[in-house]
Structure formats: C-alpha cells, structure tokens
C-alpha cells in the first residue's frame, strides 16, 4: 500500500495518516509478514502531484514484481 498524505491537506492531518501507517506496519511485523507499506508527504494541499504519483507507481511496481 502506498499512501500520499500531503502536509497542506485540509481534509485530514498528515500526522494521523503517518501514525496509521506506522501501526499497520507493526501489525504486519507482529504477524511475521514483511511490510510493503509506504507513505509520502508532499508539501502541497490536497493533491496527487506527478512526483507523488511517480513514487506511488514505482512502489506498486516493485511490490508486484516481488510476488
């Protein structure tokens, strides 16, 4: 999973998204699973910028090629 949580988003707090991803990753590890969770915090408002999109697609591509 790849989360894009912009620092300037007025729909949610990026810190909350980061905490949720950290907790989810801990659950993966607790169950003996390697986590593939990642989070990106672009410095923008509610948007999925091309740079963030490229990071997300690269991450998803890497994870799928491992399987």
How many domains, in total, are found in the chain? 1
CB count, 10 Å around CB of 51? 11
Domain containing residue 21: 2-66
- Of 30 and 67, the structure prediction assigns the larger pLDDT to 30
Q: How do residues 22-62 score in pLDDT, each as one tens digit?
A: 999 999 899 887 888 999 999 999 999 999 999 999 999 98
> Using CA atoms, how far apart are residues 27 and 7, in angstroms rounded to an integer?
25
Q: What are the tokens at 18?
A: 């980061």
User: What gap in Å lies between CA 27 and CA 62, rounded to an integer?
Assistant: 21
Q: Work out the pLDDT band at 66, boundaries 50, 70, 90.
A: confident
Could you report the per-residue pLDDT of 6-21, keeping only the tens digit for each? Answer: 999 999 899 999 999 9
> Pick from 51, 29, 30: which is nearest to 40 by CA?
51
pTM of the model: 0.80
């Amino acid at each position: 999973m790849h989360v894009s949580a912009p620092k300037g988003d007025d729909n949610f707090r990026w810190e909350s998204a980061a905490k949720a991803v950290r907790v989810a990753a801990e659950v993966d590890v607790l169950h003996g699973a390697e986590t593939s969770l990642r989070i990106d915090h672009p410095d923008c408002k509610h948007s999925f910028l091309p740079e963030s999109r490229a990071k997300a697609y690269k991450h998803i591509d890497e994870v799928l090629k491992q399987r």
